[in-house]
Amino acid sequence: MEYLRIPRDRIGVLIGRQGEVKRRIERELRVKLTVDREGMVTIENAGGEPLAAWVARDIVRAIARGMSPEKAMKLLSEDYTLELINLSDYLRTPKALTRQKARIIGTKGKTRRYIESATGTHLSVYGKSVAIIGGYDEVQVAREAVLMLVQGKPHSAVYRFLDRKARELKEKRMLSLWKRRV
């Protein structure tokens, strides 16, 4: 059994219109979700695989950290992983937190979109955290880019890093596809 708390304003997103999101999680993973008005979520395995409760926990955590249910549901696939970066581990003051969240998002969302397109991941900046969903290698590159921004690196340096890593990831995928054919 897993327990976690989500923000009150994300309870409706987790449950979904007429309970559709909650039901889909329960159906796909064969778990039982219980959500109270305070945001306490209980996840019980209801005959699914032993790790189903952990996958459900990650989906709930992703939704709690601002991801849409559609993006969070990608975690049903073994090819996707969730990474949460707690910005308060790196920043001490509320002013610094606000400033760094703005740097990660960028003007009109440009930086967040750049990270997402270069790595093929999904990012959500919510509260004091950044959530990243994608393939393991891609998530690690996106995480590094976010941490570079938090450390104060110039956006241009982060964009160069992402361009280089995007080429490396593409080469790695192409090599992997080639090896499968041979």
User: Are residues 43 and 126 part of one domain?
Assistant: no
User: Are residues 38 and 99 part of one domain?
Assistant: no
Range of the domain at 156: 81-181
* DSSP structure class, residue 109: G
CATH number at residue 23: 3.30.1370.10
3-class state of residue 89 by DSSP: helix
User: Are residues 39 and 121 part of one domain?
Assistant: no
User: Are residues 171 and 101 part of one domain?
Assistant: yes
> Where a domain ends, among 76, 95, 110?
76
> Can you give the pLDDT at residue 106?
96
pLDDT of 29 > 90? The answer is yes
User: Are residues 115 and 152 part of one domain?
Assistant: yes
User: Are residues 89 and 170 part of one domain?
Assistant: yes
Q: Is 80 exposed, middle or buried (0-12, 13-18, 19+ CB in 10 A)?
A: buried
Number of domains comprising the chain: 2
> Can you give the pLDDT at residue 176?
77
- Tens digits of residue pLDDT in 126-142: 999 999 999 999 999 99
**DSSP secondary structure letters along 15-65:** H-GGGHHHHHHHHHHTEEEEE-TTSEEEEEESSS-TTHHHHHHHHHHHHHT
**DSSP secondary structure letters along 116-150:** HHHHT-EEEEETTEEEEEE-HHHHHHHHHHHHHHH
User: Are residues 134 and 163 part of one domain?
Assistant: yes
CA distances, 58 to each of 23, 25, 32 (Å): 16, 11, 14
User: Are residues 163 and 88 part of one domain?
Assistant: yes
Q: Alpha helices of 73-128 — where are they, by DSSP H?
A: 94-105, 110-119
> Can you give the pLDDT at residue 138?
96
Q: Say how far residue 170 (Cα) sits from the centre of its chain.
A: 21
> Where a domain ends, among 25, 42, 76?
76
Tell me the CA end-to-end span of the chain in Å, nearest whole number.
Answer: 44
User: Are residues 105 and 156 part of one domain?
Assistant: yes
- Tens digits of residue pLDDT in 54-86: 999 999 999 999 999 999 999 999 999 999 999
> Can you give the pLDDT at residue 182?
64
* Interatomic CA distance for residues 61 and 42, integer angstroms: 12
User: Are residues 69 and 11 part of one domain?
Assistant: yes
> Where a domain ends, among 31, 54, 76?
76
User: Are residues 135 and 111 part of one domain?
Assistant: yes
* DSSP structure class, residue 77: S
More confident residue, 113 or 180: 113
User: Are residues 147 and 88 part of one domain?
Assistant: yes
The 10 Å Cβ neighbour count of residue 68 is: 13
Q: What is the pTM of this model?
A: 0.91
